[in-house]
A and B are shown apart, each in its own frame.
Chain A
Amino acid sequence: MALNDKLRDVFVEALGIDASVDVENLKYRDIEEWDSVGHMALVAAIEDEFDVEFATDQVIDMSSFKVAVDMLEGLGAKA
């Protein structure tokens, strides 16, 4: 599975959103499910699923799906 696809699933699951949502273009606070509480759940889920650990700045800079992809690639995460 491509990294994007796996991350997409993690977003859907962690934020409890419908699979029909355009996740790839999602930004923080675009939808009510991705509020600060949702963000915390999301970050924890991504760390678990990709076996990575984000630094403080990465957690608060993860402002969109695309940024999350870049960060995971930067950390050498595999799908």
Chain B
Amino acid sequence: MTARGLLDGGGRLVDAVSGEVFEPEELRARVGAVAAELADVPPGVLFARTDVDVASVLRYLAAFEAHRAVALLDAGQDREVLLELVARFRPAAVLGADGDAPEGYRGGVVGGPAWVRESADGVTPHPDLAVLLPTSGSTGNPKFVRLSRSAVLANAEAIADVLGIDAAEVAPTSLPLHYSYGMSVLNSHLVRGATVVVEGSGVMGRPFWTAVEEYKITSLAGVPYHYEMLKRLKFDPAKYPSLRTITQAGGKLRDDLVVLFNDKMLAVGGRMFVMYGQTEAGPRMSTIPAERLADKIGSAGPALPGGAFVIRAEDGTETTEPDVVGEVLYRGPNVMMGYAESEAELAEGDTRHGELETGDLGRLDSDGYLHLTGRLKRIGKVFGNRVNLDDLEQLLRGSGLDLGAAAAVPAGDKVVVWVEDCAADTRKAAARTLAEKLHLHVSGFDVRDIDALPLLPSGKIDYRSLEGRA
């Protein structure tokens, strides 16, 4: 049965900073109090500056429960970026915004400081629209992914199903909540009456691990970089008897780390889930059942219940036959309504009709498991020859060279490959390997040393910034 709201399942919230526990009744009351403050806000989309704290969670839940479309924005975002978005989308209010209100807005209170639009005139968001999440637009300005209420709830339920989330689960907020994976951890636990511990310091902070012990946290969600951190920390689940589930999404985790962490979890009777998604799918599309992970290393898993993958081959035909490589299409109830780059587009209905062109390349195996092979668009040119940059990175990982994390970006007629902590000799060897494997001249591969690859708030590699430096 699909929940009508995020709080219907009786979810609980814990504030790891204050130690305050919000039982279901208390949580509903607190959310209701913030929702009541929305009555003074004119109709229209809400912006919510979102941090990993209880106030941010309450504002998001209040907007969702009050059926007000809400855009979740990084609270750490520069004021200029925020003001550009405010000017472009003219939100009815910016929740969690302090400092001087821009022209046309006054200071107000909605679960904390807010800017409230002075004019009641504005675009009325489409009635199905519930959540807007930022993504990078083609021009470099952020745009929003438009998610309907039913898509958000359907995805929360499907995730809870495949992960077996029940009321006994206790999840920490190990990811930013304005990031689709972070939001989905919150949603999928609340709808099943589980507990979410709001803790902002992350896996590198002592308070996080104190919270794991104090609140008997049962699961941990991470993107690939978190797993690099956990490896660095020599993470040992035996030290945390309650923590028996780890989940990974947000980009492909290298196979050796999947094996390492799966083995660590299996050794203590725990489990690891490797998942695949995109913000455009609200975000989850697939999850490998934990018991199949060991023999499906490298896969992205089968589609979630209610969803399906189809491969669009190069000739445009669609197939679910195994081993045909093409663009991955996903169909399911969680697919976005579309994007919004302007205020007017907030009123638009569903333009995708449940189908998402992922832009990822992949194939299905005979069990219907998806195997991703690259991005449709991450293509570089080396002396006029098309080179798939993901394949190139994969090639380096499998080269046998002792390399740190690597990221390849196009640079004119060459490819620049940034490698973490890479000595000159190794850089030469890496360039030679690429030249040999791809049958292209070695001078087309500019392998450079970098202390640490720049990352987006989501933990994914910031390729745009690297392209700027290349």
Task: Jot down 15 A-B pairs with beta carbons below 8 A, ordered by A.
Answer: A14-B451, A14-B452, A29-B200, A36-B201, A36-B202, A37-B455, A37-B459, A40-B204, A40-B229, A40-B452, A44-B421, A44-B452, A56-B234, A60-B206, A60-B209
Q: Does B233 sit within 8 A of A, measured CB to CB? A: yes
Taking a contact as CB atoms under 8 Å apart, the answer to whether B451 and A60 are in contact is no
Interface residues on B, range: 20 to 34
Taking a contact as CB atoms under 8 Å apart, the answer to whether B232 and A43 are in contact is yes
Q: Does A69 sit within 8 A of B, measured CB to CB? A: no
Taking a contact as CB atoms under 8 Å apart, the answer to whether B204 and A60 are in contact is yes
Taking a contact as CB atoms under 8 Å apart, the answer to whether A59 and B451 are in contact is no
Q: Does A50 sit within 8 A of B, measured CB to CB? A: no
- B455: nearest chain-A partner, CB-CB: A37
Also in contact, A36 and B452, with CB within 8 A (given A43-B232, A56-B233, A60-B233) = no
What secondary structure prevails in chain A residues at the interface with B?
Answer: helix
Q: Does B435 sit within 8 A of A, measured CB to CB? A: no
User: With A and B bound together, what is the CA distance between A61 and B451 in angstroms?
Assistant: 23
Q: Does B259 sit within 8 A of A, measured CB to CB? A: no
Cβ-neighbour of B202 out of A35, A43, A44, A63 (below 8 A): A35
Cβ-neighbour of A63 out of B206, B209, B232, B459 (below 8 A): B206
Q: Does A65 sit within 8 A of B, measured CB to CB? A: no
> Would you give the 0/1 interface string for A38-70, flagging 1 where the beta carbon is closer than 8 Å to chain B?
011101110000000000100111010000000
Listed in ascending order, the chain B residues whose CB lies under 8 Å from chain A are 76, 200-206, 208-209, 225, 228-229, 232-235, 421, 451-452, 455, 459
- Of the listed residues B201, B206, B209, B452, the one surrounded by the most CB atoms of chain A closer than 10 A to its CB is B452
In the complex, chain A residues whose CB is within 8 Å of the CB of B225:
37, 40
User: With A and B bound together, what is the CA distance between A28 and B233 in angstroms?
Assistant: 17
Known: A41-B452, A44-B421, A60-B206. 14 other contacts (CB 8 A): A14-B452, A28-B201, A29-B205, A32-B76, A35-B202, A36-B201, A36-B205, A40-B225, A40-B232, A40-B452, A45-B451, A56-B233, A59-B204, A59-B233
Taking a contact as CB atoms under 8 Å apart, the answer to whether B233 and A63 are in contact is no
- Of the listed residues B208, B232, B234, B459, the one surrounded by the most CB atoms of chain A closer than 10 A to its CB is B232
A57–chain B nearest beta-carbon distance, Å: 8
- Of the listed residues A14, A28, A36, A44, the one surrounded by the most CB atoms of chain B closer than 10 A to its CB is A36
User: With A and B bound together, what is the CA distance between A13 and B452 in angstroms?
Assistant: 11
User: With A and B bound together, what is the CA distance between A20 and B216 in angstroms?
Assistant: 42
Taking a contact as CB atoms under 8 Å apart, the answer to whether B452 and A63 are in contact is no
- B208: nearest chain-A partner, CB-CB: A60
User: With A and B bound together, what is the CA distance between A31 and B205 in angstroms?
Assistant: 14
A7–chain B nearest beta-carbon distance, Å: 16
User: Which 8 pairs from chain A and chain B are nearest by CB?
Assistant: A36-B204, A36-B202, A41-B452, A39-B204, A60-B206, A56-B233, A56-B234, A40-B229
Taking a contact as CB atoms under 8 Å apart, the answer to whether B203 and A36 are in contact is yes
Cβ-neighbour of B205 out of A28, A37, A56 (below 8 A): A28
In the complex, chain A residues whose CB is within 8 Å of the CB of B229:
36, 40
- A61: nearest chain-B partner, CB-CB: B206
